[in-house]
Chains A and B, each alone.
Chain A
Amino acid sequence: MPEIRVPFRGGGFRPEARRGTGIAVFLLLLFLIEWGTRTGWISNLTLPRPSDVAATLGDLARSGALWTHLLPSLSRLAVGSVLGISAGVGVGVLIGLFSYIRAGLVPLVAAIFPIPKIALLPLFVIWFGIDEGSKYALIALGTFTPTVVATYGAVDNVDRGLIRMGQSFGLGWWSIVRKIVLPGALPGILSGLRVSLAIGIILLVAAEMLGAEHGIGAYILQAGALYDLERLFAGVVILSCLGVLTSWAIGKIEKRLLVWRG
């Protein structure tokens, strides 16, 4: 009789959901900083005390200043990214469908993509005015290029077999685009939106730093100029929350629209 048990060699290489781990890491880090600043191990000039940042956030919310800064920022982000993303999806689909548009626009998009859009802000100020217009334009252009690239990639990845099937049943061109190409490209477009919105938030802050009375970017800039680390970090926390919130919202939309992926 054989008597050595065969050792187990499989398993692993498959990420699993571990609830609470992320929050635990976050809390541990906060605790370390709090402890370090209280014992003097971390100097007050290096990092602010988390409890002070929390207190500043509390003051901000109580005094109503939070909303005078957050609301203009949110509306800039919303208007700018809606403009950029809808134009990006439209152009991306056209590139995916028509060879001439692809040949003409793909090099152009590749040329625009790596430009730090913030460098163009002075130009946008001349074109669209010092007010909201230039900020909308900056965020729109910043979200436009990654959306275009994600969208035409997603259209390219739609199963050609499904399109042949549509043709073989005599479906019209528009029916094929609407019922086969667009739903098939949706997962890729949505995951591109995550990147686009993150870039949108970065550009929002950059634009507000360069010229705005209210807004999270302006608030952070003022705090930085006074070396008020508590307020600076309070602003940064708000931005992080904004990022987590948009990512969560896209996750919800994906769950809603992509039930069929299981």
Chain B
Amino acid sequence: MELAVRGLTHRYGDMVVLDDVSLHIPAGEILCVVGPSGCGKSTLLRMLGGLEQPDWGEVLQGGTPPEGCLNPLTYVFQDFALLPWRSVAGNISLVLEDHHLPGDRVRAIIEDVLARTRLSDFHDALPRQLSGGMKQRVAIARALAVNPAVMLLDEPLSALDAQTRELLMEDLVALWERQPFTGVYVTHNLAEAVRLGHRIAVLSRRPGRVREVIEVPGALSERQAGDAGLEAIQAHLWALMRDEAMAADQELLDA
């Protein structure tokens, strides 16, 4: 499935957060959205999945979702959003329960996604028993369980330490290689963007506009940390964002 964003504009009160944003996300490709803090990238992502309504403009979906898709537009959240009172398996079954699938089908889906995220041994663990990286794996497993057409990832690795982030990046690449999904990956981390994005959209600071969309060459699985070509793209992105990031940092929050 593919997504298109046309002329998206949104205000909170007097403040324009998104100004005429247009983007195209072709099927089977990951688009990373980067920008300084407060550029409206999370707002944009919420609009992509229908969790927030834009003042103007529209989000369009095209193509048919894959067979057995229970929830075409599926999020992975920065804070994991796991129910603390449900076990790992219970958190995954939560998103299947409303679809009235037969019991053995549900169990098969849960076993499958737990195996794909290497969580099979943690079937009955509670979220509080898991590390941050494991929690995000559970959230990814939950997203995979509904067989999504588009994955909407909202800074999924930002709450994790650097080593865990590296491991989960490899996991995400492996999952995409196994079954290429359409993805929108919002992050402020440029290293993640160049590793996981087929294309990278750079948003400007308030009001958020698309400044540039950069193609990143090379297959996801062949990209390594420290690759010279990727470093060059990352440096270019940073040059685009540096002044605005500085301005964002020095702003009073309630001004």
Cα distance A167–B94 in the bound complex, in angstroms? 12
Cα distance A162–B73 in the bound complex, in angstroms? 17
Map CB proximity to A onto B77-104 as digits: 1 under 8 Å, 0 otherwise: 1010101111000000011011000000
- Among A167, A175, A183, the residue within 8 A (CB) of B85 is A183
Any A CB within 8 A of the CB of B22: no
Cα distance A262–B221 in the bound complex, in angstroms? 40
Are B74 and A168 in contact, CB atoms less than 8 angstroms apart? yes
How near does chain B come to A144, taking the closest CB pair, in angstroms?
A: 27
Any A CB within 8 A of the CB of B146: yes
Map CB proximity to B onto A131-145 as digits: 1 under 8 Å, 0 otherwise: 000000000000000
Are B75 and A168 in contact, CB atoms less than 8 angstroms apart? yes
Are B84 and A165 in contact, CB atoms less than 8 angstroms apart? no
Any A CB within 8 A of the CB of B51: yes
What is the count of residue pairs linking A and B with beta-carbon distances less than 8 angstroms? 54
Are A168 and B51 in contact, CB atoms less than 8 angstroms apart? yes
Q: Contacts A171-B98, A260-B84, A260-B128 given: A161-B77 contact, CB under 8 Å?
A: yes
Are B79 and A161 in contact, CB atoms less than 8 angstroms apart? yes
How near does chain B come to A171, taking the closest CB pair, in angstroms?
A: 6
How near does chain A come to B17, taking the closest CB pair, in angstroms?
A: 18
Are A169 and B83 in contact, CB atoms less than 8 angstroms apart? no
How near does chain A come to B66, taking the closest CB pair, in angstroms?
A: 16
Cα distance A102–B117 in the bound complex, in angstroms? 43
Any B CB within 8 A of the CB of A179: yes
Of residues 58 through 77 on chain B, the ones whose CB sits less than 8 Å from some CB of chain A are 70-71, 73-75, 77
Any B CB within 8 A of the CB of A12: no
A261 partner residues in chain B, CB cutoff 8 A: 84, 128
Cα distance A179–B96 in the bound complex, in angstroms? 13
Cα distance A167–B85 in the bound complex, in angstroms? 18
- Among B51, B83, B127, B128, the residue within 8 A (CB) of A180 is B83
Of residues 101 through 127 on chain A, the ones whose CB sits less than 8 Å from some CB of chain B are none
Are A165 and B77 in contact, CB atoms less than 8 angstroms apart? yes
Of residues 147 through 198 on chain A, the ones whose CB sits less than 8 Å from some CB of chain B are 159, 161-162, 164-172, 175, 179-180, 183-184
Cα distance A164–B83 in the bound complex, in angstroms? 12
A262 partner residues in chain B, CB cutoff 8 A: 126, 128
- Among B70, B74, B77, B98, the residue within 8 A (CB) of A172 is B98
Are A169 and B71 in contact, CB atoms less than 8 angstroms apart? yes
A159 partner residues in chain B, CB cutoff 8 A: 81
Looking across the interface, which residue of chain A has its beta carbon closest to that of B79?
Answer: A161
Any A CB within 8 A of the CB of B132: no
How near does chain A come to B228, taking the closest CB pair, in angstroms?
A: 39
Any A CB within 8 A of the CB of B49: yes
How near does chain B come to A96, taking the closest CB pair, in angstroms?
A: 18
A169 partner residues in chain B, CB cutoff 8 A: 71, 74, 94-95, 142, 146
What are 20 inter-chain pairs, A to B, with CB distance below 8 A? A159-B81, A164-B81, A165-B75, A165-B77, A165-B81, A168-B51, A168-B73, A169-B71, A169-B94, A169-B95, A171-B95, A175-B98, A179-B83, A258-B85, A259-B126, A260-B84, A260-B127, A261-B84, A261-B128, A262-B126
Q: Chain B interface (Cβ within 8 Å of chain A)?
A: 49, 51, 70-71, 73-75, 77, 79, 81, 83-86, 94-95, 97-98, 126-128, 142, 146
Q: Chain A interface (Cβ within 8 Å of chain B)?
A: 159, 161-162, 164-172, 175, 179-180, 183-184, 258-262
Given A161-B81, A168-B74, A170-B98, 20 more A-B residue pairs with CB atoms under 8 Å apart are A161-B77, A161-B79, A162-B83, A164-B77, A164-B81, A165-B81, A167-B51, A168-B73, A168-B75, A169-B71, A169-B94, A169-B142, A169-B146, A170-B71, A179-B83, A179-B94, A179-B97, A183-B83, A260-B126, A262-B128
